[in-house]
Chain A
Amino acid sequence: MLVETAAHDRAPARTRQGPPLTSEQADRIRRIRRTGAYVLLIVSSAMFLLPFLWMLTTSLKSDADNLAFPPQWLPDSFHFENYIKGWSGSLPFTKFLVNTIVITGLSMAGNLISCVLPAYAFARMRAPAAGIMFGALMATMMIPREITLVPKFIMFSKLGWVDTYLPLIVPEFFGVALYIFLLRQFFTTIPQELIDAARIDGASELRILWSVMLPLARPAIAAICLFSFVGNWNQYLENSIYLRSMDKITLAQGLGMFSGQYVTQYNQMMAVSIISMMPILIVFFLAQKTFIRGVTLTGIAGR
């Protein structure tokens, strides 16, 4: 069924005519193709690496080189002490790091728990109000965040939640429209045959979700973990609205204060930015591994 719906046009599938390739020729084609792929990868990586290299060189510049105009791409000398000066200067960045870990960890857990169930229902269950509810879900993504900012703040301050982590963490336990939509799209690609088979075996919906859907949607779950991590780690606007005390604020806020305090010290600011980026890169490197392990659904398309 998969193959038939997949084929859009009805032209014969055979595209290459003529005598079959010798194994030598096939090898050469494969080699050329692989070299081409590497060249493309290296060229595009160079483009994407640029911002990081620029941050790196800026973080190593002397205070004087910082202000040079037009900006220098490479510093005259390397100042590694910018990292220590920036991190253990007047702002308690280690404390900010701990706070960020607490908020990010709890929010991520909340996102995961609260997005999987609705996504499964939106992808695979029928109900009279399903269409309207999906519309409402999509609509919440489309309302400009800026305009609900003030009413939200008034609501949370009436609850006495200002200067606590509650306004940042509690809503994360009630689903994020973007992640629900993303997971739903992945759940819709899983062959119905697998679900039917599990149902015939007497599996409950939760069981199907846990043993059929989630393992197959693992790359999507990894993507959501990553987005949730990065989003909460870098969250600046909401954090600075709700968190006031110096002992509660996060890394992103600390970086913001940094640029306010030392307007010209881009070098130290970049150094601290790079340190605060490192956890994200580590999480990314771990998450992307799940994108390698391909999912094989044997015995489905073979009919």
Chain B
Amino acid sequence: MTAVSARGTLARREARRFYLFTSPWTIGFVLFSVGPILAAVVLSFMKWNLLQSPTWVGLANYERMVNDPEFWESIGNTVEYGAGAVALGVTFTFLLALLLNQPLRFQGLFRTVMYLPSVVSGLATALLWLNILHPDYGLINKVLASIGIQGPGWLASQEWAIPGLVLMSVWGAGNTIVIYLAGLQGIPKTLYEAAEIDGAGWWRRFWSVTVPMMSPVIFFNVVTGFIAALQSYVLILVMTEGGPGNATMVLGLYIYRHAFVYFDMGYAATLSWAMFVLVIAVTAIQFSLARRWVHYEFK
């Protein structure tokens, strides 16, 4: 047997194993996801109010979407919210995780406290943040006033509504902290020891050991953070219903409104595919940039 064909057999065996190992997901994908996804594609060419039977309208929904100014406005808001939530969330929670990873006492307690917001029900979160962000008696503006700063109108103002929602999203990012903490456990201590022997200070160890070793985990948080932020709407629905004006009308909320308020399932499906394209574009950019900064052990 030649070396080449031996390598071919090995590769085939590895590929067979790959398909076997991934089969739980593949089977589930075919059974539970393909059907509903195809149905959603078909739906985007239909008019359907859930009660009467759907009728075929061709590309009408897509034409309507392209010419819908509210749709384009919602795309802008979605991107603004997503970028803000991910940029602030990914860095702030990383710093928190580093702090929670120090060998200090009561860390179990501190970690549990920082996870609390992720456990509290959405309704309670919304009520709480409506109080925190209130322009007059809200906690933030009261603190700002005590140091002589006139706080912004937050959810009552067109410019500050999205920054207010971004603040709220960061505060509920307990899962991101958990993932960072799990990642920090995987960094071999010997790397830090070696760096220390070489005379590397705190900052240097952070940039040359922690960040590269954590890069697959940071990458995960950035990618899934964007996916979640671009799709999120439930808390926004409860807190602002898209207002003031259309300042917080994000795409998810716009879809929700067409699907479950106007019962225009066809148009909602079309908008959903637009969201899918938006999310996939952002994710594809992430993956192509990843080659420059994410360090994998296996390529």
A residues whose Cβ falls under 8 Å from a Cβ of B: 2-3, 5-8, 13-16, 34, 37-38, 40-41, 44-45, 47-52, 54-55, 70-71, 113-114, 117-118, 120-130, 133, 136-148, 150-152, 154-155, 171, 173-175, 177-178, 180-182, 185-186, 188-192, 205, 216-220, 222-223, 226-227, 230, 234, 255, 259, 270, 273, 277, 280-281, 284-285, 288-302
Contacts and interface: CB of A to CB of B under 8 A. Distances in A.
Question: Which of B40, B96, B99, B107: most chain A Cβ within 10 A?
Answer: B40
10 contacts: A16-B201, A41-B110, A126-B15, A142-B227, A146-B268, A174-B24, A181-B224, A190-B297, A293-B185, A300-B190
Interface residues of B, number: 105
A285 B112 contact: yes
B208 interface: yes
A182 B217 CA distance: 8
> Chain A at the B interface: mostly helix, strand, loop or mixed?
helix
A124 B199 CA distance: 35
Given A45-B110, A47-B171, 11 more contacts: A6-B208, A15-B199, A16-B201, A155-B35, A173-B24, A174-B31, A188-B298, A216-B186, A273-B124, A288-B115, A292-B107
A15 B207 CA distance: 13
B252 interface: yes
B276 interface: yes
A124 B104 contact: no
A125 B23 CA distance: 14
Nearest to A277: B119
A289 B108 contact: yes
Nearest to B115: A284
B213 to A, nearest CB: 6
Contacts of A6: 191, 208-209, 212-213, 295
A5 B295 contact: yes
A294 B189 contact: yes
Given A120-B21, A147-B269, A280 B255 contact: no
B37 interface: yes
Given A14-B198, A185-B219, A291 B111 contact: yes
Given A38-B104, A182-B179, A147 B18 contact: no
Given A8-B208, A230-B119, A55 B276 contact: no
Interface string B197-235: 011110110011100110011011001100100010000
B169 interface: no
Nearest to B130: A71
A147 B40 contact: yes
With most chain A CB atoms within 10 A of its CB, the pick from B17, B123, B298 is: B298
Nearest to A294: B185
A182 B124 contact: no
Given A6-B213, A191-B297, A51 B26 contact: no
A125 B14 contact: yes
Interface in B255-299: 255-256, 259-260, 265, 268-269, 272, 275-276, 279-280, 283, 295-298
Contact of A188 (B39, B256, B296): B296
B221 to A, nearest CB: 9
B131 interface: yes
Contact of B283 (A48, A138, A174, A177): A138
Interface in B29-70: 29, 31-33, 35-37, 39-40, 43, 50
B279 to A, nearest CB: 4
Contact of A2 (B118, B181, B188): B188
Contacts of A47: 171
A142 B280 contact: yes
A58 to B, nearest CB: 8
Contact of B199 (A14, A137, A154, A191): A14
A124 B298 contact: yes
